[in-house]
Structure 1
């Protein structure tokens, strides 16, 4: 089975970035000059995805507008002979076939996934969270698809999670097969750190068989009185083997304020036109804020 469809949930309210997200989707926050969601869409495309469903909500129209044609802007750029910028704008609107489904109210990640059931049908599919950017020569989604192609089983991306953040993730219990792959034995949504089955957490990349939809429905509401994807995964694991893949790459959680700042700094340092100036500015900041070793508080 080949995976050609992907789902990007992008209906969250983005309360950690208020007041900016009062009128701007958090997925449209820019990493310098490119919105977060474009990196996610590009990862899906490079991984072989041809059909993308974005789950949106109230106030998310900017996402649809961004990936749509922009005749007025294109006409303005053409008139000004700004050919490079014109090509950039046109390329964005022709990246891939994108469909939009609205989640009427935020009701958990599991509910967002369910919104796409009719479009997905009985095919396996990928899920990419709209606020996670993962950088690697081989995209994280491609790594999961490769594992799915090999074993024919749902696969979730995981990484080590700091102790103080264990209660923000779905934490797995897994049986190691090798350095990067586990057979999933259990997964717990947002456990207290002292109750967590490990320090390995699921992050925003998944590949599922279509049976996940029935499992989400059967699981019902969970933590926070919302429909949790983790509960659906836990139920699916009872009927078919699931793998957890420790992906290769660097992840930026842009839904977290510190993660967002880190992503901007890292991407700026990878930008040839910005790198030297940004490094110089960082050195200036370090010099100004340096505390002498002999200082006593």
Structure 2
């Protein structure tokens, strides 16, 4: 889940309207977490935007080209389908979108929008609870009462 203003997709659409090409949403992650993500290498394009120079799926932390992880939001162009058709089975015994994007990068620019906001990982029980609490605390009706409840619970 993503909490961002403007919304993450709007941030990406703003970049897309500028570059007229594929846009990936990325976030800097700790070096020891890069092996869980597709990782990009990039050079500055403008504030908050990178021009992608390479991509690798779930690299070893010592071999990762950066700490910018692709976080599952993409604006792609139709030419991704030709790249997917040419992509061999990769990491995990699957055709990886990251590998297809790497092929596409050989023929056209790809840009990465650095998320301006908070990404919440609900993939674990604790992460799910944290995400629910994050949004509940921001809710105009629930937030104030929930804050009071939490204060009482942690006494």
TM-score (norm 2): 0.92
The secondary structure found in structure 1 opposite 2:41 is strand
Counterpart of 2:116 (choices 242, 248, 253) is: 248
Tell me, yes or no, if structure 1 residue 272 matches structure 2 residue 140: yes
Q: In structure 1, what is the Cα distance between the partners aligned to 2:18 and 2:140?
A: 38
Determine the structure 2 residue equivalent to 1:179. Answer: 47
The secondary structure found in structure 2 opposite 1:219 is coil
Pairwise mapping of residues 59-208 of structure 1 onto structure 2 (< 5 A)?
Answer: 133-208=1-76
- Deviation of the 1:162 alpha carbon: 1.6
The secondary structure found in structure 1 opposite 2:116 is coil
Q: In structure 2, what is the Cα distance between the partners aligned to 1:187 and 1:256?
A: 26
Give 5+ residue unaligned stretches, structure 2. Answer: none
> Based on CA coordinates, which of the two structures has the bigger radius of gyration?
1
TM-score (norm 1): 0.50
The secondary structure found in structure 2 opposite 1:277 is helix
The secondary structure found in structure 2 opposite 1:262 is helix
- Deviation of the 1:149 alpha carbon: 1.5
The secondary structure found in structure 2 opposite 1:137 is coil
Aligned length: 155
| Cα-Cα RMSD | 1.5
Q: In structure 1, what is the Cα distance between the partners aligned to 2:15 and 2:139?
A: 32
Q: In structure 1, what is the Cα distance between the partners aligned to 2:153 and 2:63?
A: 40
Q: In structure 2, what is the Cα distance between the partners aligned to 1:258 and 1:241?
A: 38
Q: In structure 1, what is the Cα distance between the partners aligned to 2:43 and 2:134?
A: 34
Counterpart of 1:213 (choices 81, 95, 114) is: 81
Q: Which moved more, 1:254-263 or 1:236-245?
A: 254-263
Q: In structure 2, what is the Cα distance between the partners aligned to 1:257 and 1:186?
A: 33
- Deviation of the 1:248 alpha carbon: 1.6
How far does the alpha carbon of each residue in 1:175-233 deviate from its partner, in whole angstroms, 9 at most, with x for none?
11233111101011011111111111111111111111111121121100011111111
